[in-house]
Every structure is written in structure tokens, then in C-alpha cells.
Amino acid sequence: MPVHNADIAAVFGEIADLLEIQGANAFRIRAYRNAARTINDYGRDLAGLINRGEALPKLPGIGADLSAKLEEIARTGHSVFLDRLHKDWPAAITALLQIPGLGPKRVKILYDNLHVRTLEELDAAVRAGRVASLPGFGPRTEANIRQAVAAHWSKARRFRLAFAEPYAQALAAYLEQTPGVRQVVVAGSFRRRQETVGDLDFVVAAASGPAVTKRFTAYDEVSEILSGGTTRASVRLRCGLQVDLRVVAEESYGAALHYFTGSRAHSIAVRRLAQARGLKINEYGVFRGKARIAGATEESVYAAIDLPYIPPELREDRGEIDAARAGTLPLLVERRDLCGDLHSHTAASDGRDSLEDMARAAALQGLRYLAITDHSRHLSVAHGLDPRRLAQQGEAIDAWNAAHPEITLLKGIEVDILEDGSLDLPDAALQPLDLVVGAIHSRFGLSRARQTERILRALDHPYLTLLAHPTGRLIGSREAYDVDMARIIRKARACGCHLELNAQPERLDLTDVHCRMARDEGVAVSIDSDAHAGADFRFLEYGIGQARRGWLERRHVLNTRTLADLRPLLRQAQAAS
């Protein structure tokens, strides 16, 4: 069986989980977790490289010991060290850590006292009432665990962020009308702007918990009440989304918001910093002994451990705490920073609105320039443009610009990158354009080597400006094609090309990890709507969320520039060729 980077990363992640249950050194655990992320996100096939006899590249955070383990897994498919850990801890036990309220210590108690190894065994134990009597548990904890296990079984389905957003906004507006409610925020992965969410976590500051939970469970969209109480409740909406509610007093609101926003890894790291200062952080506040010293705001929670506020999108334990300590947190890009959009379609190809309507809609969104980039002829299903129709569209754009100073239209094309890496239109058709957006719309199943070479050849083309939706994925329906993103990003830098973060909610392509790779390599990213109608410019908000998860600042984003500053960058590829 071939060993992929994800397989190696999974072994390192399981080792970290088992070491955590064992109570091993925190720095050792973190080393394995960070190594798992690095390996999973690395662009090249490590096992293939090792088995070809090539030297293992220097990977950040992976020293001699972890490198040796990596090579062992790559060659054999397993780890002797993990095998040793499994002699003391069964493999399935790490799944217990997915249950809220079950940290490593409690998992160890469950295993030592009840020999609970799996979620099924945990479910049986709480249903039989055998957990409440364990040290550190009790009836309330047992009930919470039972509810959490039930919720876990229902969380297999995930929903795109854009699907969940209108449901979240409507329910938030409904809860805000409850007498006594002071603040309502949707926390969890939704607030961190992850691409998909399994459920929605509402945190509400209110004078009366029962009034809020009663109104919450009476919401028209509720199809099933999963649990209820005075300060918490859980329901399922008719659309299938599970929604969990937590009501807290205003003095605990910031702490609860931090706790329920996550991520789990970030929260653990924050709590460890607190412990080192003799403090305790939970959803009720920051405590020194029994005295609450902070917790009304998230800023106060971070300040208690000598950190500045960390934006939710960064809370993944991917270096944000070290950056906060060093005073080097990025000043993340915001929607208001965007001056234009470099990827849009009109009714000339597969768009739904005219060129004029698209321009007006973009202007209403505050954009000062818009690239019209209809499909090229190869994508016949989209009625793509040939050289003659492209030239005619250019004349229409000139006419618009002459009469409408409020927004400038740029002449462009989304040209297909053919299997051999050539572009779908001749140079004579591309040369007059302001920009050329290259994209793959066919032959997604090429091998990693062939697909990568295809894109590298396209990037060498002197007129190619921007690589659109670089991995071709459609969230939930089509996996990304297999490419070496590290090579592509370095090639883009060398060629003076730029990468797109396609903000279409089913794409969000680049990923947050690839955004950060581009940032570190000095390759500008363009956040584009790929709008096919005037209403689609709202998608830019999702692109901003993804960019923020990728640590992008305004200076890293191509289309935050004014048009005068942008034009030389659009010609950069021609100058580099």
C-alpha cells in the first residue's frame, strides 16, 4: 500500500493523542502535533521521495528524532513507537478526546476504572449510569457526556459556511429580540470562518437563561429538540443543522465566547499559559483561586495571560500564540481593503447578467475596478469566447469606461489551460488584454507529476497573469486535483504571476494553508468573487475569511492596490518572461 503524507501525519497525530492521555511532556506532545500538520500540508510526496533514495528535505520543527520516525513510517507504513504505545493504550481510545468535557485525564480515568476504550463503550457506560461515581465526574458530568456522545453521532454531516450563514443570521436576529438579551454571537468553527461547519454554537449574554432557552426551542425552524435546560439547549433545524445554545451572565461572556469559539488546540494552549501563571481559564472566566479576575470580554481573557487579542480566524494553534507574544500578529485583511475584483463573468459566456449590470453591481459594492474574464472557447459548455468575440467585448469595455468614471472595467479572459500546459487562445488575442486568468476545467485526474507540469508550463506563458482556483476542488463534491503546490507557488514567484483565492463558497480555493505558503514565498494573492451575477460579489466576504485564516494582510493581497498601483503588477509576468 502506498504511504501518503496524510498517512504519516495521522500516525504522528495519534502518537500525540496517546502521549497526551499518558500525561507526557507538553512540549513533546506539541512537537508531534506540529509535525503532523507540517507533513500533512507539505506539497511533495515524502514517501515517494524517501523510497527513491532522495534526502529528506529540511522540514520546520522536525529534527533528527522525528525525521527518523517519518522515514520509518514512509518505508514500512507503521511506527514501532506507536506500536509500543498501543501496548498500553488501545488505538480507538483517541476518539474519546473528540467528546467535549473529556480531556486526557478523564479519558485515563474512564479507561483505568471502567476499561472504556471506544465511543460505543462510553455510550453504554453513561447509559448504564456507571460514570457518575467516578472521581472527578458526578451526575451532571455524566449527563453532559451522554448528550455530547449523542451529538457526536449526529455531527458526521458538515455544511458549507455559506449554507449555514443565513440560518445563523436569522436565528441570531430572532434571539436578539428576547427581553434581557445583551449580546448574541455564533461561535465555534463558524466564527473561525472554517470552510464547513458541523453545527452552530450560539453564545448569549442575558439576564435570564430560562427566557432565552424557551424562546430558542420555540423557534419556527426547529424540527427536533435534542436537549433543554435553564442555560443551555440543543436543537436540530429543518435544514439539518444542529444548533447548540449557551446562555451566560455578562461578566462571563468573553470567557464563554473564547471557550466555545475554539479551536480545541488553541484553547488548550491558552489554558496552559494560564496554568503557568497560577490561573484557571474556563467558560465562566479567568480565576485566581476562587476570585474571577477577568472574563467579561475576550480581550480581558487574553490580557490576563499577557497576550493581545487574537482574531478568531487565527485560533488554530499554528503559531498565533508565539506571534502574539512577540508582538508580530498579522494585521489581517478586511473586506473594506479590497479595491477591485479580478475575476467575473457576464452573459457573454456562462454569467447571468450583462456587462453593464455587472459593472453597476460592482460599483454598488464599493469596488473601483472590475476585470471582465469570461470563459475562453475551449469551455464550450459555457459558450466560451473565441478571438473575434473577445475583441468585440474589448470594444464594449472601452465604451463603458469612456462614459462611466465611477468604476473601471479591465479587459480579461479566463482562458483554459490545456493538457499540455498551453493556453486556449493565441497570443494575438491575449496581448491586448489587461490581464489573463488561467484555469483548469478538464482532465482533473492527471497524475501529480503531469498535473503539476501542466500548470508550471502555463505559468511560463508571458501573458498569464493569474492562476484561478489553483487546486480545482469543489467542497463536498470534488477533491482537489493532485498537484505540488509548493512548486507552483515558487514558480509563480519566479514568473511574476499571482495566485487567486476564489471566493465562491463551494471553492474557497486557495486553502488557508496554501494562502500562508504564498504569503511566506512573497506571492500576491487575489481575492476574487468569480461572480456570475451581480449578487455574487457578496462572495468576497467568504474569500476575506479564508484569507484571514491564511494570515494574509492587506499588503499580501493583489487587489487591495489602487488601479494605478495594480497595472504594473499585472504586466509583471510579461516583464519576467
Nearest one of 205, 294, 293, 189 to 245, comparing CA atoms: 205
Question: Quick one: DSSP state of residue 294?
Answer: E
At 79, list the grid cell: 511506527
Can you say whether the dihedral through the CA atoms of 138, 144, 147, 150 is positive or negative?
negative
d(CA 180, CA 212): 9
In angstroms, how far is the first alpha carbon of the chain from the final one?
Answer: 42
CA torsion sign, 268 to 272 to 275 to 279? negative
Helices 485-495 and 448-459 sit at what angle, rounded to 10 degrees?
A: 10
Dmax (CA) of the chain? 79
Other CB atoms within a 10 A radius of the CB of residue 390 amount to 23
Which H or E run contains 34? helix 26-41
Asked if 421 contacts 455 with a C-beta cutoff of 8 angstroms, the reply is yes
Please tell me the predicted confidence (pLDDT) of residue 1. Answer: 47
Q: Are the CB atoms for 189 and 164 separated by under 8 Å?
A: no
- pLDDT tens digits along 397-451: 999 999 999 999 999 999 999 999 999 999 999 999 999 999 999 999 899 999 9
DSSP single-letter state for residue 73? H
Domain range 5-153, CATH architecture: Orthogonal Bundle (1.10)
β-strand partners of 411: 372
In the beta sheet, which residues pair with residue 511? Answer: none
Cα distance between residue 64 and residue 249, in whole Å: 50
**What b-and-e string marks burial along 546-576, b requiring 16 or more CB atoms within 10 Å of the CB?**
bbbbbbbbbebbbbbbebeebeebbeebeee
In one-letter notation, the amino acid at residue 201 is D
Distances 146 to 93, 284, 311, 554 between C-alpha atoms, Å? 17, 22, 32, 46
Residue 491 CA to residue 513 CA, distance in Å, equals 18
Name the helix (H) or strand (E) containing 242. strand 242-248
- The alpha carbon of residue 190 and the mean position of all alpha carbons in its chain are separated, in whole angstroms, by 10
| Torsional class of 189: left (φ above 0), alpha (ψ -120 to 50), beta (otherwise) | alpha
Phi, psi for residue 389 in degrees, rounded to 5: -65, -35
**Distance from CA of residue 255 to its chain's centroid?**
23
Residue 479, pLDDT score: 80
| pLDDT band per the 50, 70, 90 thresholds, residue 232 | very high
Q: Tell me the β-bridge partners of 439.
A: 416
- pLDDT band, very low/low/confident/very high, at 191 (cuts 50, 70, 90): very high
What pLDDT digit, counting tens, does each position of 122-132 carry? Answer: 988 888 899 99
357: left (phi over 0), alpha (psi -120 to 50) or beta: alpha
Identify the three-state secondary structure at position 467: strand
- Residue ranges of alpha helices (H) inside 481-556 are 485-495, 512-521, 540-549
> Which cell numbers hold the place of 211?
427566557
- Which of 19-23, 99-103, 113-117 has the lowest average pLDDT? 99-103
- CA 204 to mean position of chain CA atoms: 25
Three-class SS of residue 301?
helix
**In CATH terms, is domain 335-576 a member of 3.20.20.140?**
yes
Domain ranges of the chain: 5-153, 159-326, 335-576
Among the listed residues 460, 470, 472, the one whose alpha carbon sits nearest the alpha carbon of residue 497: 460
For the segment 505-542, what is each residue's pLDDT rounded down to a tens digit? 989 999 999 999 999 999 999 999 999 888 889 899 99
543 and 525 Cβ atoms separated by less than 8 Å: no
Residue 326 — φ and ψ, nearest 5°?
A: -85, -5
Taking residues 121-144, report their average pLDDT: 89
Handedness of CA 532, 538, 540, 542 (dihedral sign): negative
In this structure, which topology does domain 159-326 adopt according to CATH?
Answer: Beta Polymerase; domain 2 (3.30.460)
Element containing residue 270 per DSSP (H, E): helix 264-276
Region of poorest pLDDT, from 24-28, 322-326, 544-548: 24-28
Task: Supply the pLDDT for residue 573.
Answer: 63
Question: Which ranges of 155-280 would DSSP assign to H, the alpha helix?
Answer: 161-176, 188-191, 209-217, 253-261, 264-276
CA 241 – CA 230 distance, rounded (Å): 22
Residue 295 has pLDDT above 70, yes or no: yes
Tell me, what's the pLDDT at 43?
61
Is-above-0.75 flag for pTM?
A: no
What mean pLDDT comes out for the span 40-60? 79
The cell numbers describing 409, all together, are 472595467
